[in-house]
């Protein structure tokens, strides 16, 4: 029996590991698409900033992106928990001042979760330019 097509072309994705692929497979469909969009932004920004190859792995069971090759950046994670409903987030290491810097630069653009995250909901448009700037700051955090 053939599976019904939703009319969307399925993405062919190479994940960093089978465990990362399994986590993405567990997300609800709409959330998975939104998190894949965030993943694409992280990988595009890494390429644009020249931080080297990005390692995609799991940290605390969440898809995580590290600049292992150059060690220039701070880890960026993306995730959705069922208790979040239609919300999903991009997380940053809370011991850094990254979210504080994002909050100062973009006070009315993002919704922040304390000193560790930027939150989105399924129905909202992600401010791509501003988010890529935040991702670039994280991926170059240790650059001198």
Q: CA angle, corner 138, sides to 133 and 142, nearest 5? A: 125
Domains of the chain as residue ranges with CATH? 27-139 (3.90.1150.200)
pLDDT tens digits, 80-92: 999 999 999 999 9
Q: Are 92 and 98 in contact (CB under 8 A)?
A: yes
**pLDDT digit string, tens, across residues 9-56:** 456 789 989 999 999 999 999 999 999 999 999 999 999 999 999 999
Q: How far apart are CA 77 and CA 129, in angstroms?
A: 18
Q: Is the model's pLDDT at 3 over the cut of 50?
A: no
């Amino acid at each position: 029996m053939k599976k019904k097509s939703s009319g969307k072309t399925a993405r062919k994705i190479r994940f960093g590991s089978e465990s990362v692929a399994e986590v993405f497979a567990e997300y609800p469909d709409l959330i998975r698409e939104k998190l894949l969009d965030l993943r694409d932004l992280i990988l595009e920004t890494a390429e644009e900033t020249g931080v080297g190859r990005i390692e995609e792995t799991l940290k605390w069971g969440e898809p995580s992106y590290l600049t292992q090759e150059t060690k220039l950046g701070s880890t960026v994670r993306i995730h959705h928990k069922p208790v979040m409903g239609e919300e999903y987030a991009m997380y940053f290491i809370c011991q850094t001042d990254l979210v504080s810097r994002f909050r100062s630069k973009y006070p009315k653009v993002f919704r922040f979760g304390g000193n560790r995250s930027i939150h989105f909901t399924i129905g909202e448009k992600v401010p791509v330019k501003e988010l890529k700037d935040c991702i670039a700051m994280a991926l170059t955090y240790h650059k001198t």
